[in-house]
Structure 1
């Protein structure tokens, strides 16, 4: 739900200005009025902004929390941070995974050529069950077809553990990070995804699981029906619903699924999210440190979508074009003032 405090008139002017800016870069004579009419229609109907590759709208910022300042700055080393500034994300400098890797059983991990992995028929016929581990770096996704025909797309910074061949009454995999599952239907062998402290049980359907943090796990359903379970509760969700686990309880709500699955199309997508969360995702994807020189900007809420194949310099250029905050990228560090 949108924040009721923001000025819809101001937001429209900003978004139209940004659309005009982007269109002028790509086309010599854009139809700005048509773009404005289309935006106003979508704003009234509440539909997705999928067609807009980079869009921003800003609402009023709230005061930064002292507790948040403490938590974000705890343990941050190797950065020159002025007094009062907040480190939102610190770039990894050691043991950074450079490519997609696959480990088969006890073998050493090997780098995958391309981003697609298949389980071959010869693999599936093995008597001994070998467990594979597919891992992605912070800036790449991977796809794998499991032995039963289930298709999985693994998001950046994630790990999927799965058998080369499913045996027994269930088909079970383990996930760290985020993945989109298109499960092959098999009524006799339920498919179960273990992620953090929850499990998701299905027969055949399409859903997204995000489990980067144990206290912020999401299962978002696009088709079919799934049963999401924690140690204390189980909830069955319907298409268009998201089950969120906060570390102690499960909560189900209706959502716009594009927000949770835009990564599959290679896009950042944030719907009225704090600039702090957006900055963390940018920092993680490009592996750059992010520092808020003006901590009050952390709570500014944005509508933001951008292609992930854009350079960080391009993102900074667009962000600065709105004159809502100053973004400076230098020496692998993004500073927000």
Structure 2
């Protein structure tokens, strides 16, 4: 009977069709909570094997880190994570043996792909790092009091007893699967998207307000005609006095600046380009391309939504991967250039997102651990 159980589990893991008798047997066995945890543990190992099967396309060490449990598990599982290329039947046999002898030492954490949340790390001028995933005690830096409210936003409030005019800098790093809101000492509000970084002074001295950005952010700049606000990105500076705009500066993508309200000036060496509301600037091969856009298509993330209009699948998947924190493997390279129009909330499950994109009948997608496998729809 144990051998029969192994065969049924193997078929279930491989998504092979079970007979009615096998299906009934598996469902009866699966009702027990300990069996459910055991089966999910096998799924993790199966995901690791899948990571190796696509090793030419996905970094194998990175793939394993995505699928391994985050808590300490039994010694045999620690060995298995390094021996993931073993055949799955052998893994099942070992686990069946281990399960009987080490029941109390196995801790399961479900490796699911889920929407991002309020995640960020603050680095103070001293080098101390503070995780901002939950509320932390108020802190002080030279010239400012720092606090994060229950609304998950970090607020800098200047204090009067400043003894030095030298700027003190902090940074905020938002990982994949995160976002965060920052209120600077001058009242400027910054919404940071996933996989982004900002460096800024604790208070603004001198004749300008300057920050450095990598990734994507939406700025609502506090007006101050005497102190222009400057956002420094890799390829140029954005100069404003009080306005709202979105900046997107991810590696391997064209730099995009979208103006929502007010006016901004882009400065790249001696090149200067001004924008008015509703305009977007793309930097392509060192030159700006200016076009009229519907700004809501580009700032929906700030309002908690994805909004894609005739966007190629590769760009859509890249955006989703940053938010849901998964890796991707394309079985057919041609699908990267398929174009889609889609809208969904950022708190939607990844299964809902997949369902929306598959309704086009152009592609098929499935998750294996934290790897999204994308292929052309079979006819």
Alignment partner of 1:101 is 2:121:
yes
Please show how residues 294-309 of structure 1 align to structure 2 within 5 Å.
294-309=332-347
Say which SS state the counterpart of residue 334 (structure 1) adopts: strand
Measured in 1, the distance between the counterparts of 2:288 and 2:277 equals 17
Write the distance in 1 (CA, Å) between the matches of 2:359 and 2:279. Answer: 35
Unaligned runs of 5+ residues in structure 1 are: 1-77
Higher relative contact order (CA 8 A, sep 6+): 1
Shift of 1:87: 6.3
**Inter-partner Cα distance in structure 2 for 1:247 and 1:296:** 25
Aligned counterparts, 1:208-223, within 5 A: 208-213=246-251, 216-223=254-261
Change (3 A) 1:158 1:291: same
RMSD: 2.8
Match status 1:171 vs 2:209: yes
Residue 144 and residue 92 in structure 1: after superposition, are their counterparts in 2 closer, same or farther (change >3 A)? farther
Q: Confirm whether residue 285 of structure 1 aligns to residue 258 of structure 2.
A: no
Partner of residue 274, structure 2: 236
List aligned pairs for 1:236-275, cutoff 5 A.
236-275=274-313
In 2, distance between residues paired with 1:326 and 1:123? 59
Matched residues in 1 for 2:325 and 2:368: separation?
13
SS at match of 1:213: coil
How far did residue 241 of structure 1 move? 0.3
2-side partners of 1:158 and 1:82: how far apart? 28
Question: d(CA) in 2 for partners of 1:265 and 1:123?
Answer: 35
- Which structure 1 residue ranges, 4+ long, deviate > 6 Å from structure 2? none
8 Å contact 1:123–1:165 — kept in the other structure?
no
Measured at CA, do residues 214 and 330 of structure 1 come closer, stay the same or move farther in structure 2, by a change above 3 Å? closer
Q: 1:325 aligns to what? A: 363
1:110 corresponding residue in structure 2: 130
Displacement of 1:319:
2.7
TM-score, length of structure 2 as denominator length: 0.62
Normalised by the length of structure 1, the TM-score is: 0.70
Shift of 1:228: 0.5
Q: Which of these residues, 216, 223, 245, is aligned with residue 185 of structure 1?
A: 223
Which residue of structure 1 lines up, in the alignment, with residue 140 of structure 2?
A: none
Task: Judge conservation of contact 1:230–1:250 (CA < 8 Å) in 2.
Answer: no
- How big is the shift at 1:325? 1.4
The structure whose Rg is larger is 2
Q: Secondary structure at the match of 1:283?
A: helix
Counting helix residues as a fraction of each chain, which structure ranks higher?
2
Query: Equivalents in 2 of 1:102, 1:235: separation in Å?
Result: 33
**In 2: Cα distance, 1:215 partner to 1:325 partner:** 24
